Amino acid sequence: MDWAARLDKQIKDYLPDLRCLREEPMAKHTSFRVGGPARRMAFPDRGEQLVLLLSMARDCGARPLVIGNGTNLLAPDEGVDRLVIGTGGLSRLEPGEEPGSLVADAGVSLARLADFACKQGLTGLEFAHGIPGTVGGGVCMNAGAYGGELKQVITGVSALFPEEGVKRLTGEQMAFGYRRSFLTDEPEAVVLHAEFHLSPGEPEAIRETMGDLMARRKASQPLEWPSAGSTFKRPEGHFAGTLIDQCGLKGRTVGGAQVSEKHGGFVINRGGATCADIRELIRQVQEIVWEKTGVRLEPEVRFVD
Ligand SMILES: Cc1cc2nc3c(=O)[nH]c(=O)nc-3n(C[C@H](O)[C@H](O)[C@H](O)COP(=O)(O)OP(=O)(O)OC[C@H]3O[C@@H](n4cnc5c(N)ncnc54)[C@H](O)[C@@H]3O)c2cc1C
């Protein structure tokens, strides 16, 4: 019996309510709309189910991949021989014990989190409203925009580690950096929930700021096409999009993948793009920008293997 058959049996015996799909296309779960089938994809709807599933996966020899909204992922065309776990069902969001604090499960979208904070009269998460990821993905990536970063508002993260079990890490222990965190070096750790500390604010003013930031996004980003947001990290002292534009790469196309005409920092799927198209376009952009400017562009988007 291979890992998938062993896991099917364990799920049937111990987690009969768990929704688990076979050969589920990753294209349905990534914002690039690209990627072949995941051997198994499961959708736990509470933390205990996720914890048990991960322990069963380990016993069965499966290689789990926990994803949020798949908005920073590029999955291979041939699919993944892995157990992909979607966190969308982990959706608890409530005020914390301290005044000004909130607790959110990994699967809560950043948009919902920011809306909730606004309704509670709490400011500090306006920047996150337009980022299409979840708390789990956002924590791992230290998502940020328009001068804000999650590291500014996170006070604690509960994560499950394969050997040590569930641990609470303080904001400091999370060692947040530019689009990275302590968990970047711990790819097997799984974020269960996070705590945020915010300041009192006027809901109307918060709503207005979120609206302004969304308008700026719509004006500058190709939101009408599938993508994974900024394809490259911001290189020290430069902007990836400006360098790409200066190198004449806007509109460059490989198969269905294109460097957006609207924003050079975005590779978009113009229809029918494969993972191979996108990776080749990324490679070409890196090579040309390096040759012409001497700057190395590092992908922000994560490649699933
Ligand atoms: C149109 C568009 C605009 C964007 N704008 C921004 C922006 O302004 N700023 C910005 O920072 N990003 C932006 N992004 C990128 C993306 O939304 C962020 O990186 C976001 O934080 C990813 O969240 P996710 O839930 O989609 O994570 P995924 O893409 O699902 O996963 C990202 C990584 O986190 C891991 N992960 C996810 N959940 C968990 C978990 N619970 N436990 C452990 N690991 C986990 C995954 O394994 C993967 O390695 C944009 C993307 C798009 C498509």
Looking at the fold, whether 80 and 107 belong to one and the same domain comes out as no
Q: In the prediction, which pLDDT does 142 show?
A: 97
Strand partners, 167: 159
Q: Each residue of 249-278: pLDDT tens digit?
A: 999 999 999 999 999 999 999 999 999 999
Cβ(222) to ligand 1 under 6 A? no
| Residue closest by Cα to atom 11 of ligand 1 | 143
In ligand 1, the atom with minimum distance to the C-alpha of 138 is: 21
Note if 92 is an active site residue: no
C-alpha 54: how far from its chain's center? 19
Looking at the fold, whether 201 and 264 belong to one and the same domain comes out as no
The residue range of the domain holding 70 is: 3-86
Looking at the fold, whether 67 and 103 belong to one and the same domain comes out as no
Cβ(108) to ligand 1 under 6 A? no
Q: What CATH number has the domain bearing residue 264?
A: 3.90.78.10
Last residue of one domain, picked from the residues 219, 243, 267: 219
Note if 300 is an active site residue: yes
Which residues have CB under 8 Å from 283's CB, separation 6+?
none
What is the SS3 string spanning the chain?
CCHHHHHHHHHHHHCCCCEEEEEEEHHHHCCCCCCCEEEEEEECCCHHHHHHHHHHHHHHCCCEEEECCCCCEECCCCCEEEEEEECCCCCCEEECCCCCEEEEECCCEHHHHHHHHHHCCEECCHHHCCCCCEHHHHHHHCCEECCEEHHHCEEEEEEEECCCEEEEEECCCCCCECCECHHHHCCCCEEEEEEEECEECCHHHHHHHHHHHHHHHHHHCCCCCCECCCCECCCCCCCHHHHHHHCCCCCCEECCEEECCCCCCCEEECCCCCHHHHHHHHHHHHHHHHHHHCCCCCECCEECC
Looking at the fold, whether 97 and 205 belong to one and the same domain comes out as yes
The tokens describing 277, both together, are 């198209």
Looking at the fold, whether 35 and 65 belong to one and the same domain comes out as yes
CA 223 / ligand 1 centre spacing (Å): 16
Cβ(72) to ligand 1 under 6 A? yes
CA 72 / ligand 1 centre spacing (Å): 5
Note if 230 is an active site residue: yes
Looking at the fold, whether 63 and 167 belong to one and the same domain comes out as no
Looking at the fold, whether 99 and 180 belong to one and the same domain comes out as yes
Last residue of one domain, picked from the residues 219, 247, 279: 219
**Residue positions counted in the chain:** 305
Q: In the prediction, which pLDDT does 56 show?
A: 96
* Across 52-64, average pLDDT: 96
Pairing outcome for strands 64-67 and 80-86 = parallel
Looking at the fold, whether 68 and 134 belong to one and the same domain comes out as no
Looking at the fold, whether 102 and 204 belong to one and the same domain comes out as yes
Last residue of one domain, picked from the residues 59, 86, 113: 86
Average pLDDT along the chain: 97
Strand partners, 290: none
Distance CA 27, CA 292 (A): 34
In ligand 1, the atom with minimum distance to the C-alpha of 145 is: 8
The active-site residue out of 149, 230, 260, 279 is: 230
Q: What CATH number has the domain bearing residue 44?
A: 3.30.43.10
The active-site residue out of 24, 126, 149, 300 is: 300
pLDDT band at 188 (very low <50, low <70, confident <90, very high): very high
Cβ(131) to ligand 1 under 6 A? yes
pLDDT-above-70 percentage for the chain = 100
Looking at the fold, whether 196 and 251 belong to one and the same domain comes out as no
| Residue closest by Cα to atom 37 of ligand 1 | 137
Amino acid letter, residue 255: G
Pocket test for ligand 1, best of 28, 74, 141 (most atoms within 8 A of CB): 141
Q: Total structural domains in the chain? A: 3
Q: Each residue of 131-161: pLDDT tens digit?
A: 999 999 999 999 999 999 999 999 999 999 9
For the chain, give the longest Cα–Cα distance. 59
* pLDDT > 90? residue 1: no
Cβ(138) to ligand 1 under 6 A? yes
* pLDDT > 90? residue 227: yes
Taking Cα atoms as reference points, which of 89, 75, 57, 21 lies closest to residue 160?
A: 57
Looking at the fold, whether 212 and 239 belong to one and the same domain comes out as no
CA 69 / ligand 1 centre spacing (Å): 7
Looking at the fold, whether 105 and 76 belong to one and the same domain comes out as no
Q: Each residue of 75-106: pLDDT tens digit?
A: 999 999 999 999 999 999 999 999 999 999 99
